[in-house]
Amino acid sequence: MLPYMNRPLPDYDNPPVVETVLGLQFEPLPRMSNAHLGAFWKSLPPEWVAAEDAPSLEPQFENFTDAPNWGAFRFKLSSDLSSRVQLRNEANDRMVQIQNGRLHVNWLGHGGSEYPRYNLVRDGVIDAFNRFSEFAMGADLGEIRANQWEVTYVNRIEKGTVWETPNDWHFFRLLSDYRELNSVRLESFGGEWHFEIVDRLGRLHVHFRHIRRADAASEEAIVLTLTARGPAGQARNDTDWKEGLDLGHKAIVTSFRDLMSDAANEYWGLKHGDR
């Protein structure tokens, strides 16, 4: 375990998180086809009741030897014929996503459902990895070799919670220097920031987006997405992918706390892990 991972992390009574994604990228399996995706679905327990296709995602790599690639939120569609399958459980609050080179598990918040906490989602992706590894070996596809870990938290911060107008967006510390200009008034904003996870263990990508319904001006929200990603693979003496998930989780929750104002942290019920 990384030496600082046992320190207490921030914890909230009512965090604004509405979706989490934990997973890994792995070296493509040369003999894997789309037919194997359906066969893998049929090998899972019956709680996984629905499947749908989605375009495959291009590989993403965080490295510190070449010019950094900061296109964390600009996924490109693959030009090959492979696809990604999204499997949903009966309660529609969990999803397994699998393609040749990717395995992710999502928790999906619907109708205010309570976030089940990181360890349960982590257990879910490890279980999915073990099942897929067993399936791949049984189908003579080869061993799953991870090359990157990834953690994403999507937060939806509704108007009427910690903000009412864009003038209140100083609750997000990266926007704390904003001041209303004399002749114009801010209506919306979108931006992204990129941080190294020291010491070059990965990166944290932060994406801020203001959304509103065209037919309901009062229904506005900030979607704040934090994605941590880093290299994995014992062949290169990188972080083990499961330790990488823990590292990414730590980077996200501590950064979320540090990016929020004291009033916002109090609103969501920060219990410990104070600055």
Is residue 269 within 8 Å of residue 16, measured between CB atoms? Answer: no
- Region 82-101: mean pLDDT is 93
* Residue 43 banded pLDDT, cuts 50, 70, 90: very high
> According to the model, what pLDDT value does residue 176 have?
81
> According to the model, what pLDDT value does residue 72 have?
46
Structure-derived torsion over alpha carbons of residues 257, 74, 146, 1, reported in degrees to the nearest 10: -10
What pLDDT digit, counting tens, does each position of 180-222 carry?
A: 677 888 889 999 999 999 988 999 999 999 998 766 656 899 9
Q: Which residue has the higher pLDDT, 136 or 184?
A: 136
pTM of the model: 0.89
248 exposure class (CB count in 10 Å sphere: 0-12, 13-18, 19+): buried
> According to the model, what pLDDT value does residue 81 have?
53
* Residue 133 banded pLDDT, cuts 50, 70, 90: very high
* Residue 151 banded pLDDT, cuts 50, 70, 90: very high
pLDDT at 80 over 60: no
Is residue 222 within 8 Å of residue 246, measured between CB atoms? Answer: no
What pLDDT digit, counting tens, does each position of 107-124 carry?
A: 998 766 778 889 999 999
Peptide bond into 199 cis (omega under 30): yes
pLDDT at 2 over 50: no
Among the residue ranges 45-59, 77-91, 134-148, 215-229, the one predicted with the least confidence is: 77-91
Share of the chain above pLDDT 90, in %: 69
Angle between helices 34-43 and 118-138 (to 10 degrees): 120
> According to the model, what pLDDT value does residue 115 have?
81
Burial 34-68 (b: 16+ CB within 10 A, else e): eebbeebeeebeeebeebeeeebbeebebeeeeee
Is residue 25 within 8 Å of residue 151, measured between CB atoms? Answer: no
* Residue 75 banded pLDDT, cuts 50, 70, 90: very low
